[in-house]
Structure 1
């Protein structure tokens, strides 16, 4: 697949019988217009580059808002360093994201190439989607605080943060037929597995996980959903406190490649040093990603968590 910028990733080939089903693994990156820390600006992009080094990824889709051209250039350069054949698609709205998931293109008027064969008589079905973004309980907020950011940076835009969420009101716009059997969505946003009513940091004994966005998507799409009930933490993206205090040669060599984009924002061409982890709050839920499956109880991926009774 060629590297593209908002163009269709695949060429349609009509009239073929017995198409070959191929898998597609996608990374989705939200805008970072919420945090004011320079070290946080590019954490979603950094985690995406790290994932490319670990998994076979065919497509990266990212929201452009808040990223300078220098940031986009450096990010895409890093992506191509590790995978020259990856498709890179810039978007500005969730409607484009949903369109790509459903038909394989951000252009709504094209034939659904997840159902009809195209180049080499192949149909691409989604195996994994990895999402790096901000989140609220049962909301993946791709443009969190965009209104404030627009005002502060004198940006003219009709897009609204509330209209660019994946949430309990629009998840059914996703097409279950786009996914392979046994497919997964991995949400590294905060609290995707927590019910929308649980918006507190006090200790939670009932989490409403059965009413969460994670469970609703698992039931509707009939796929695996991996999600945090706690806030997710990106604080170790550029290395943990222990890494910075250690004499580890690997980390020292990693730090040597660090640069600043636009004379301010930290970037590492090789991506994040460590993965996203569970944060501290809210108190009570598991300290790790949890697996949500259709009509099943959630399963934590860590072994030490005790679930509440009742």
Structure 2
């Protein structure tokens, strides 16, 4: 059943523990401001500069990610996590993802999952880890059953920062939460299947402030336009906080014409914004669909 808050009591697992952060690809917006919207908060959480409700330290931190659609410089930014001991591993299918979740073995050593967190695109009933990409990489009511509940500590938690994981209905307006049938949502199904609490939004998720303060947008775009002259295709240091990472073709052939024209005109096309310290904030609940609580709800087994 969904709740608005979680039990604050935390207990340690008897053996070694692992926190797993799963990052999807971003191939939908094709946008300077949003390309790194999954990698940036994931980076911050993995390095410890960001946190989420009831997050706690584990013996090992692993970041699993979909590489499709990212440029070399974008992935190299994520690779910096290796220097602080984070295990990074790319995956190309839902089966590869669930296999890692079920085995969690590196160099012959196996860990129990303490925290499992997803940052990716989502739709009602689906965590779409490669939305609008080539490979089909989805966790839904069917594929999630491949996850072995015995992979988790007794006091583990799962989190989704994808859109509408706690909502099972394709509607844009609700008169009550009951109309969204959260009891049939992917969040509830996974909580029940895995036997651990699942944190999720009923609404879409807002990533606008994860990488930059929106009030800085004009100065950031002006810096990109200025610094790229004579340095096209190179990483641009915009400030102590931000870099622009090259991504050939991005923002030049987008079906969202208002994005495409805006990027070319403002000088940000073919680059992606990156915050060198990782995300400045975790995503939050948006205000759509209308009529649903903007809370990070907890679904219990």
The answer, yes or no, to whether TM exceeds 0.5 is yes
- C-alpha separation between the residues in 1 aligned to 2:217 and 2:74? 25
Deviation at 1:118, TM superposition (A): 4.3
> Could you tell me how far apart the structure 2 residues matched to 1:289 and 1:255 are?
33
Q: Secondary structure at the match of 2:298?
A: strand
Deviates more, 1:254-263 or 1:273-282: 254-263
Match of 1:124 in 2: 111
Q: Which runs of 4+ in 1 moved over 4 A?
A: 242-245
Are the counterparts in 2 of residues 75 and 269 from structure 1 also a CA contact under 8 Å?
no
Report the count of equivalent residues: 235
The corresponding residue for 2:66 is 63
8 Å contact from structure 2 (residues 82, 88) kept in 1: no
| TM-score normalised to structure 1 length | 0.71
- 1:73-131 deviations in Å (ceiling 9; x for gaps): 12212x245xx2111101111111100001125xxxxxxx8xxx944xxx410010111
Where do 1:1-310 residues align within 5 Å? 21-52=15-46, 53=48, 54=50, 56=57, 58-77=61-80, 79-80=81-82, 84-104=84-104, 118-119=108-109, 123-147=110-134, 159-160=135-136, 164-195=137-168, 198-205=169-176, 206-241=179-214, 256-262=240-246, 264-294=271-301
C-alpha displacement of 1:240 = 3.6
Q: How far 1:61 sits from its partner (Å)?
A: 0.5
For structure 1, list consecutive stretches of 5 or more residues without a partner in the other structure. 1-19, 106-112, 148-158, 246-253, 295-310
Q: Distance in 1 between matches of 2:157 and 2:175?
A: 27
TM-score, length-scaled by structure 2:
0.73
> SS of the residue aligned with 1:101?
helix
**Contact persistence 2:126–2:139 (CA under 8 A):** yes
Separation in structure 2 between the aligned mates of residue 171 and residue 284 of structure 1, nearest angstrom: 28
State the Cα RMSD in Å. 2.2
Greater CA drift, 254-263 or 233-242:
254-263
- Contact kept in structure 2, 1:188 and 1:228, CA below 8 Å: yes
The answer on whether the counterparts of 1:200 and 1:282 sit within 8 Å (CA) in structure 2 is yes
The alpha-carbon distance between structure 1 residues 204 and 190, as it changes in their structure 2 partners (threshold 3 A), is: farther
Q: Answer 1 or 2: higher relative contact order, Cα 8 Å, separation at least 6.
A: 2
The answer to whether the 8 Å contact 1:203/1:284 transfers is: yes
The CA deviation at 1:204 is 4.2
Alpha carbons of structure 1 residues 172 and 144: separation in structure 2 relative to 1, 3 Å: same
